[in-house]
Amino acid sequence: MGWALIGGGVAGLVLGLFGAGGTVVGLPLLLQAANLSSHGALGTNALGVALVALVLLALRWRRGDTHLTAGIAFALPGMLGTYAGANLGLIVPGARLVFLLGLLVLLIAGWVYFSSTRLAGGEDATDAASGLAALRVSGATLWRLMPTAFVVGLVSGFFAVGGGFMIVPALMFILDIDVAMAAGIALVPIAVFAGTTGLRYLSAGQTDLTGTAGFLAVGALTGFAGLALARVLPRRRLGQALAVALLCVGAYLLLH
């Protein structure tokens, strides 16, 4: 239970701050729990992050800091991929799954870092809401989102993560937006992908509900703090900090 509380606290802070990475940073801490197998840690982590993401999404929606149309357009096709991926992940040995996830996280960390260097250094995240309000998703853009979302969902389900570290870069690329705006959209598919995976793992007996409850309680509180910080930090620094966090987590998962 103790590791679940710590994992929820760290995951909530990162999810609120970056709009991504909650399951990835929470997983190493849950892997320390003596009562959880690798698959048990993956399932508990996924369900906990899904619930925290829903809380943070509600807060972002109330202040107009998300784009539900884009988020739902990404989440629905991705959910089909997530369910398929979760079924595949349950038959792969947990230790191998964690190692492969580490490799993927390192690749994404490099992409996020170099993408962030293209952002203007003087802007901050406080105008993300106005940018999201002006965002229009065309039919052509939807057709580009759907196959990408399915693949991201498949990978997310396989590794039992919310997929934010893939969703944010995908949204940045397809919608031509920066990391702060992408973070405002990503909580929708993160909640759906992590929730789908968490429920599938729960049905397989690979989720600790007591740990999930503790994860949610602490993660929601630290998530509020992360959201507040995200509104004042420069966008370029936000992206670079996410890249560094992913780099550290990827290295840990490889060595675990």
- Give ∠ CA 21-27-30 in degrees, rounded to 5: 145
User: Using one digit for the tens of pLDDT, what is the confidence trace for 12-21?
Assistant: 888 887 777 7
Q: Are 43 and 202 in contact (CB under 8 A)?
A: yes
CA-CA distances (angstroms) from residue 103 to 8, 100, 209? Answer: 23, 5, 29
CA angle 53, 55, 59 (to 5 degrees): 110
pLDDT in tens, 191-249: 999 999 999 999 999 888 888 898 888 988 998 888 888 777 776 777 777 788 788 88
pLDDT at 122: 44
Q: Torsions phi, psi of 124, nearest 5?
A: -120, 180
Instruction: Provide the token pair at 18.
Output: 């970056």
Predicted confidence at residue 116, as pLDDT, reads 65
- Are 5 and 214 in contact by the 8 Å Cβ rule? The answer is yes
Q: Is the dihedral of CA 42, 224, 10, 21 positive or negative?
A: positive
DSSP state for residue 161 in the 8-state scheme: S
In which residue are the tokens 């999930």 written? 212
Mean pLDDT of the chain: 82
User: ∠ at Cα 137 (132, 138), nearest 5°?
Assistant: 155
Instruction: Check residue 125 and give its pLDDT.
Output: 46
Cβ atoms within 10 Å, residue 216: 22
> What residues does each domain of the chain span?
2-255
Of 47, 77, 46, 52, the closest CA to residue 174 belongs to 77
The per-residue pLDDT for range 74-119, each reduced to its tens digit, is 999 999 999 999 999 999 888 888 888 888 888 878 877 776 665 5
What digits encode the pLDDT tens for the residues 147-203? 999 999 999 999 888 888 788 888 888 887 767 778 778 889 999 999 999 999 999
Closest Cα to residue 117, out of 3, 236, 11?
A: 236
93: helix, coil or strand? coil
CB atoms inside a 10 Å sphere around CB 76? 17
Question: What local confidence, expressed as pLDDT, does residue 84 receive?
Answer: 94
Answer whether residue 128 shows pLDDT above 70: no
Measured distance CA(27)–CA(44) in Å, rounded:
9
Predicted local confidence at residue 130, as pLDDT: 56
Reported as type and span, the H/E element at residue 199 is: helix 179-203
End-to-end Cα distance, the chain: 20
Q: How far apart are CA 119 and CA 128, in angstroms?
A: 13
Spatial CA neighbour of 202 closest among 24, 53, 51: 51
The model's pLDDT over 15-68, given as tens digits with 9 standing for 90+, comes to 887 777 788 878 878 887 656 788 888 898 899 999 999 999 988 888 777 778
pLDDT tens-digit readout, 181-193: 787 788 899 999 9
The torsion angle over the Cα atoms of residues 147, 96, 44 and 162, rounded to 10 degrees, is -20
What does the pLDDT read at residue 193? 94
